[in-house]
Amino acid sequence: MGIFPRCVLAAVVLAVLATATACKQQTFPPGPSGTVTDRSRAYYKSGGWKYWLTVNSSKFRVSRNDYQSCFRGSSYPTCAKEH
């Protein structure tokens, strides 16, 4: 196997690994049941987007999918399970 095929193989392996890790869905401990009263998000250079919901005056971290599914007035955790 020459240099060129090895470089191509290495590039393909790195691309597959990068795609697999980028698509990984994060999970967080569930928050309290109740009505969503606030939503917030922030972008961090070192960690990307982070999302929070507030239910019953308790702010907790959620996944991007949960954040996009739950709006103010939604019933949590029902809204998070609908996607």
What was the pLDDT predicted at 20? Answer: 47
The pLDDT value given to residue 29: 93
Alpha-carbon dihedral sign for residues 14, 16, 19, 21: negative
Q: Is 55 exposed, middle or buried (CB count within 10 Å of its CB: 0-12, 13-18, 19+)?
A: buried
What is d(CA 26, CA 63) in angstroms, rounded to the nearest whole number?
Answer: 6
For the whole model, what pTM was predicted? 0.68
Cβ pair 62, 71 in contact under 8 A: no
Quick: pLDDT tens for 22-77.
556 688 999 999 999 999 999 999 999 999 999 999 999 999 999 999 999 999 99
CB 47 within 8 A of CB 55: no
| Domain parsing of the chain, residue ranges | 3-81
